[in-house]
A and B are shown apart, each in its own frame.
Chain A
Amino acid sequence: MSQSAQPRLTHLDRLEAEAIHIMREVAAEAERPVMLYSIGKDSAVMLHLAQKAFFPSPLPFPLLHVDTTWKFQAMYAMRDKIAATPGIELIVHQNPDAAARGINPFDHGSALHTDLWKTEGLKQALDKHGFDAAFGGARRDEEKSRAKERIFSFRSANHRWDPKSQRPELWRLYNAKKHRGESIRVFPISNWTELDIWQYIHIENIPIVPLYFAAERPVVRRDGGLIMADDARMRFNPGETPELRRVRFRTLGCYPLSGGFESEADTLPKIIQEMLLATTSERQGRLIDHDQAASMEKKKQEGYF
């Protein structure tokens, strides 16, 4: 991290070194790796780590954005900026089937919307390009069921996660051997917590989508969260009118499914401060988790990242 020689590695130094080590292993062993890029803060950290891992070479793999067409405008702006960076190749995939059927979160609910755009879209994109290893930004601290997730997670040829065939991971040794058609999801920041991510973004000065910072935005209150009317496709319930509130988002996804909350935190230190003093966990803002009783486990078995 720092340029001067340090006698002792900090926790972020060690997490960074681990993530870089993992990325290099995949670059060396996979035939056609890809980095999933969701435009959120975890993706921003992943991209930053990858640039460090392979410097001065360009990234030895493309980025893949599995688009749902319902992300925030600010996210698309950030994505296009990243795509314009020299040395970065960004692939965007939109599920043509979901597009043809006009799948959206208002008419079809978050479960079907997510399943078709994200889960099916991801499988399509991996198959289409023949990617055999995909980096994801999932962290073990996000949910109880992820605590035992491997860093290298194996998927069958039809993208199913078989909990029984996962491999023990010892020391810094990762077994990346697989049969033709099988693929690996790799999580280089498994051991990072939300606080680590924010601290790292702060120290390394990593650009993130402005939606993480508090600003006045037009929102309506739904299911305990504040939903932003981000574009003209927003549908209001009877009696609902958007009002300007100072809000920010802790996690970003499709705007109709991402709950913001009122906040004054408009700098990174203030975000970290608010998070440290917060009394609710990060996932609360993800409506996807509330939508049905299904656990992450089930989603994972079906191929959701």
Chain B
Amino acid sequence: MTSDLIATDIEAYLAQHQAKSLLRFITCGSVDDGKSTLIGRLLYDSKMIFEDQLAALESDSKKVGTQGGDIDFALLVDGLAAEREQGITIDVAYRFFATDKRKFIVADTPGHEQYTRNMVTGASTADLAVILIDARKGVLTQTRRHSYLVSLMGIRHVVLAVTKMDLVDWAQDVFDAIVEEYGDFAAQIGLKDIVAIPISGLKGDNIAAKSNAARWYTGPALLEHLETVDIDEARRAKGPLRLPVQWVNRPNLDFRGFSGQIAGGRVRPGDRIRVAPSGAISTVARIVTKGGDLAEAVAGQSVTLTLADEIDCSRGDVIAAAADPPEAADQFEVTLIWMGEEKLLPGRPYWLKLGAKLVTAQVTDIKHKVNVNTLAHTATKVLELNEIAVCNLSLDRPVAFDPYAANQDMGGFILIDRLSNATIAAGLMHFALRRSSNVHWQAIEVSREARATIKGQKAAVLWFTGLSGAGKSTIANLVEKKLLSLGRHTVMLDGDNVRHGLSRDLGFTEADRVENIRRVAEVAKLMTDAGLIVLVSFISPFRAERQLARELMEHGEFFEIFIDTPIEEAERRDVKGLYKKARAGQLRNFTGIDSPYEPPEKPEISINTTEMDAASAAALIVARLVGEDFGSGI
């Protein structure tokens, strides 16, 4: 024990303890599950209770305790009775303890009414959740409710603490049955990292140390697990840079710094950055701190950056990795957890705070409400306190965001009532809605059919998809030549060319690829309106975006053409030398190497390039178009 060092060598002890990490966790359960007893135990066993407090505890235990004169640990943390008398809101209490390895902050939420609001609040800052199950009662409705909220809030680590094991004589079959039942449910809601521990809060078994009461249990004691489980902060540092700008630091005309807490990734001087949502690009000049400039800063740190260029950037903007910026949008699908006494009214404007950005938001549609006990979805027109719903949200201007699942600080927001100023909802961004309702559609008098007719053709999109080097462009070029020779009016959208212009600001992350395809699909759509035959030659690796493109076009107008070349063959050809670079680690997010390609399930046309040369493929495609009665003149 390093604790011995306190008395013998305090300097050595301090040196060790400066490097402690911090784990924040939430406990989910009711007093009846032994929750307070468990927390009281952790505080007591980690020696966070002083003699004067202990004396008070002993006298309270004799007066009002439930343990027949023995110390009632629950009294350490139960302020609830007193709170009720004083009419104080019962909500989240934060407790602190530390061991030789870690400091812990426990968010303790009572398990009764108001539970959803309180638990969501406590969960929003937690790395881990301890879900308590009374061994005598097993998996209850409340267990499911707690677990759903844990999953919803994106907590990755779960400890299933099966309490009061002493009351079932430490029966292994009781424990195993609970763990199995829980495991089935947890899998349904997407909880993966679950560690089940049999404990007795009263006796302290398997809390601070392994107990002899259950020799069949071979896992860790609770505290040991809490000391070693990995912390999400490290995971955040792996994502792309996100720095929500809180405050512009401008002491004089020669210094302009941007202050904020890094919400994702890491940053070094020289890094290319992009300000979202404006898109302005610059380079990080310095990471300024009072103790001297830093060579690097990571997610979780509060820093001040200076940039190489004088670009527009203010509170609410996000400084992001240039190659992997967040999306910007003004319409979203979100989950709302309603915390206001007044119910949600669709159409009413609320303030929305996301990072350091404050905008006005309206709920345009409540898609469905989620019953936290059964997970059933029901239709609704309003949302009341402690209810959860999936909604569409419309903002008065675009904001930079990441989905909540990717980055909690970039996708978690609150709604504020504009009259009372109360925080009335917590929200989770899921994705941007493609159609923006504040763009009004112009009524068009000359129809698309009319435009196609004077060209003597029918508009169409030939969407070539396949791996890099599969032969998409080669075949598409041949098809276009044939169509031209038949007097058809065509246009070619080529992946590489579009990236030099229209999509110059996008990188190769999933989000950027999605945006790239969205733009191309929209351009193709405009060109079919002009009556053209549009040849699109893009890797377009994801089914969802090809589906999006398909849905933009008129029925029968979209031809998905799968240029099917196995990766080994494409890599062998490696016309542009890209596979070589990707294999060498010089190219990231390369389709087929470290980014997935989802082959079409039902393409209109499929070409296997190992069985057919480019000329035959082009001929086949054109013949097929004729067969579709595609432009009667062909």
Given A11-B103, A147-B79, A297-B86: A53 and B351 within 8 A (CB)? no
Residue in contact with B120 in the complex, picked from A170, A277, A280, CB distance below 8 Å: A170
User: Which residues of B have CB within 8 Å of A6?
Assistant: 298
User: Which residues of A have CB within 8 Å of B91?
Assistant: 148, 166, 168
User: A302: shortest Cβ distance to chain B, in Å?
Assistant: 14
Given A9-B233, A12-B18: A167 and B423 within 8 A (CB)? yes
**Does B50 interact with chain A (Cβ within 8 Å)?**
yes
- A164 nearest CB neighbor, chain B only: B89
User: Which residues of A have CB within 8 Å of B246?
Assistant: 21, 24-25, 28
* A-B pairs with lowest CB-CB distance, top 9: A11-B22, A5-B296, A20-B302, A279-B51, A55-B290, A273-B10, A177-B421, A57-B251, A11-B103
CA distance A31 to B355 in the complex (A): 20
CA distance A144 to B297 in the complex (A): 36
6 sample A-B contacts, Cβ–Cβ < 8 Å, listed by A number: A7-B298, A13-B300, A27-B247, A147-B79, A170-B124, A273-B7
- Beyond A170-B124, A175-B353: 13 further Cβ-contacts under 8 Å? A11-B102, A18-B261, A21-B260, A24-B246, A28-B247, A55-B288, A56-B249, A56-B251, A168-B92, A170-B121, A171-B412, A177-B416, A199-B14
Interface size on A, residues (CB 8 A): 72
**Does B433 interact with chain A (Cβ within 8 Å)?**
no
Contact yes or no, A269 B10, CB < 8 A = yes
Interface size on B, residues (CB 8 A): 82
User: Which residues of B have CB within 8 Å of A9?
Assistant: 21-22, 233, 298, 300-301
Contact yes or no, B96 A284, CB < 8 A = no
User: Which residues of B have CB within 8 Å of A163?
Assistant: 86-89
B423-463 Cβ-contact flags toward A at 8 Å (1 or 0): 10010000000000000000000000000000000000000
User: B286: shortest Cβ distance to chain A, in Å?
Assistant: 11
Contact yes or no, A199 B17, CB < 8 A = yes
Interface residues of B in 89-131 (CB under 8 A from A): 89, 91-96, 98, 102-103, 105, 108, 117-118, 120-121, 124-125
- A28 nearest CB neighbor, chain B only: B247
**Does B234 interact with chain A (Cβ within 8 Å)?**
yes
User: Which residues of A have CB within 8 Å of B421?
Assistant: 175, 177-179
B43-82 Cβ-contact flags toward A at 8 Å (1 or 0): 0000000111100000000000000000000000101000
Contact yes or no, B295 A5, CB < 8 A = yes
A residues with a Cβ closer than 8 A to B are: 1, 3-18, 20-21, 24-25, 27-28, 51-58, 140-141, 144-145, 147-148, 163-173, 175, 177-179, 190-191, 193, 195-196, 199, 202-203, 269-270, 272-273, 276-281, 284, 297
Contact yes or no, A51 B290, CB < 8 A = yes
CA distance A269 to B18 in the complex (A): 13
CA distance A70 to B533 in the complex (A): 88
Contact yes or no, A270 B251, CB < 8 A = no
**Of residues B19, B89, B103, B296, which shows the largest number of chain A Cβ atoms within 10 Å of its Cβ?**
B103
User: Which residues of B have CB within 8 Å of A141?
Assistant: 95-96
CA distance A9 to B300 in the complex (A): 8
Contact yes or no, A173 B298, CB < 8 A = no
CA distance A179 to B355 in the complex (A): 22
User: Which residues of A have CB within 8 Å of B249?
Assistant: 54-57
CA distance A203 to B11 in the complex (A): 11
User: Which residues of B have CB within 8 Å of A57?
Assistant: 249-251
Contact yes or no, A28 B21, CB < 8 A = no
User: Which residues of B have CB within 8 Å of A51?
Assistant: 290
Contact yes or no, B103 A196, CB < 8 A = yes
Contact yes or no, B52 A281, CB < 8 A = yes
User: Which residues of B have CB within 8 Å of A8?
Assistant: 21, 234
Interface residues of B in 295-337 (CB under 8 A from A): 295-298, 300-302, 304, 315
Contact yes or no, B88 A16, CB < 8 A = no
CA distance A270 to B7 in the complex (A): 10
**Of residues A18, A164, A171, which shows the largest number of chain B Cβ atoms within 10 Å of its Cβ?**
A171
**Does B20 interact with chain A (Cβ within 8 Å)?**
yes
Given A14-B22, A281-B52: A170 and B259 within 8 A (CB)? no
- A6 nearest CB neighbor, chain B only: B298
CA distance A23 to B118 in the complex (A): 25
Given A27-B247, A148-B94, A163-B86: A170 and B414 within 8 A (CB)? yes
Given A57-B251, A179-B421: A168 and B117 within 8 A (CB)? yes
B7-29 Cβ-contact flags toward A at 8 Å (1 or 0): 10011011001111110000000
